Amino acid sequence: MTVPLHPRMTIPAPVKVQAPGKINIHLGVGAANNGYHELATVFQALNLGETLTLIPGGTRTIIVQGRYADAAVPRDDSNFARRAVDLLIAALEGDRDVDVLRDLDIVIDKQVPVAGGMGGGSADAAAALVGAAHLVGGVDEAILHECAFAVGADVAFLLRGGTAIGHGRGEKLSPVLTRGTFHWVMATSASPLPTPDVYARFDELNPDPAPATVPDRVLTALAAGDPDTLAESAANDLTEAAVSFMPEIAEVMEAGRDAGAVLPLLSGSGPTIGFLARDAHHALDLAVLLQATRGVNEALRTTGPAPGAHIVDEG
């Protein structure tokens, strides 16, 4: 579908794209090298995601709406979605006609908490890449992956979705067999926790960390769809560092355990905490109890694994 502008010019119709949020089911952190830590992580995409609408023929405007529209989301060229599109333009320029991407307006329906370790900004970038690729008639997967990684380590995973192991900075991905649906309650905080600060504190607490690994039992539990085995083996190496900044994280984790959560798990570098429930009914009960817990801003129910960034509407 196209909208006529001139007898010799057309502008493609807007395209709407959805991308998931994420949780790190396991996050192993190794030593820093050239400013970046070696990671061994298991990502799972969540059905709590972002929706972007890319509108060609605009004025490079970014509009943020939705549940978290009032949060400090950049509206300029530093926005992850805009950066992703500009990187794709640079990657394709000279080989492809990319003029349709230069003046895109981007509307972000913000449904993932901001600065909570759930990858909302990364989801925006992944959605923008998929939508922009569609507008130019398709892009090689390797180019999309390169642009994704240039924006952030989580973006490449959110292009793919599902469940995957990430090595390096998280960009070297391998799919993970997962059976069944995992029910999560994500407990957010009213206070942000800057990622660089958490990693710097991790370095202080772990001057000689062991190599980052993913325990075999984590993968076995995911393949079996077994929450109890997963709870015995999954961990996040950044938890101690995050708690040193925000002691209430430990208090909320303990409240979740007392409320029957199978597994409390810091999401990324925090401060959001994911609580694994046994089923949908348990997740509902857990969310009600956590919502009344001191230190919890919101208790959001979601499930995983979810699909990666994908187009939901053309025009």
Burial class of residue 215, CB neighbours in 10 A (0-12, 13-18, 19+)? middle
List of residues 6+ apart from 83 with CB closer than 8 A? 77, 125, 151
Return the pLDDT at 8: 44
Q: H-helix or E-strand containing 183?
A: strand 182-188
- Which residue has tokens 């206070």? 191
Give the residues of the chain that fall short of pLDDT 70.
1-9, 71, 315
Measured between alpha carbons, how far is 1 from 113 in angstroms, rounded to an integer?
34
Q: Which of 22, 86, 110, 237 is catalytic?
A: 22
Return the pLDDT at 84: 97
Q: Could you tell me how far CA 139 lies from the centroid of its own chain? A: 22
Return the pLDDT at 315: 64
Return the pLDDT at 4: 47
In this prediction the pTM is 0.91
List of residues 6+ apart from 189 with CB closer than 8 A? 116, 246, 248, 249, 270, 271, 272, 295, 296, 297
Is residue 154 part of the annotated active site? The answer reads: yes
Length of the chain: 315
% pLDDT > 70, the chain: 96
Measured between alpha carbons, how far is 202 from 240 in angstroms, rounded to an integer?
8
Measured between alpha carbons, how far is 64 from 108 in angstroms, rounded to an integer?
5
Q: Which of 86, 109, 124, 154 is catalytic?
A: 154
* Structural domains of the chain in order of their starting residue, each with its CATH number: 15-176+306-314 (3.30.230.10), 182-304 (3.30.70.890)
Return the pLDDT at 1: 46
Return the pLDDT at 208: 92
Return the pLDDT at 2: 47
- Please report, in range form, the residues annotated as the binding site for ATP: 113-123
Return the pLDDT at 9: 52
Q: Supply the Cα-derived Rg of the chain in whole angstroms.
A: 20
- Which residue has tokens 């050239």? 34
Is residue 110 part of the annotated active site? The answer reads: no
